[in-house]
Amino acid sequence: MDPAQEIEAEMLSRQKPMNDVIGRGDSAVQQFYCGATIFVTGGSGFLGKQLIEKLFRACKPKKMFLLLRPKKGKSMQERLEYMLQDSVFDVVRNKHPRFADKIVPVGGNVADIRLGLNDEDWSTITAEVDIVIHMAATIRFDEPLDVATLTNVRGTRETLELAKNCKKLRNYVYVSTAYTHATEDRIGKDVLEQFYPCPVAPGVMISMAEQMDVSRLNEITTELTRGWPNTYTFTKAIAEEMVRTYAAKLPICVVRPPIVINSYLEPLPGWLDMSSVMGPSGIIVGVALGVLHVFFVDIYKELALTPVDLVNNAIITAAWDSMERRKVTKEAPIYTVTNKQRFIKWELAKQVISSMRNVSTTKAVWYCYLFETSNKLIYWLLTWLIHYIPAYLLDGVCAVLPFRPKGIPP
Catalogue all structural domains in the chain, each as residue range(s) with its CATH number. 3-270+304-343 (3.40.50.720)
The least confident of 53-67, 73-87, 224-238, 303-317 is 73-87
Instruction: Return the percentage of the chain with pLDDT > 90, whole number.
Output: 59
Which region among 180-194, 230-244, 343-357 has the lowest average model confidence (pLDDT)? 343-357
Q: Tens digits of per-residue pLDDT, 178-207?
A: 999 988 888 888 889 999 999 899 999 999
The residues, ordered by sequence, that sit 6+ positions from 385 with a Cβ below 8 Å of its Cβ are none
| Side chain identity at residue 241, one-letter code | E
pLDDT in tens, 31-66: 999 999 999 999 999 999 999 999 999 999 999 999
What residue type is assigned to position 358 of the chain?
A: N
**Widest distance between CA atoms in the chain:** 73
- pTM for the whole thing? 0.90
Dist CA 38 CA 281 (whole Å): 29
More confident residue, 386 or 281: 386
Closest CA to 170 of 134, 132, 130: 130
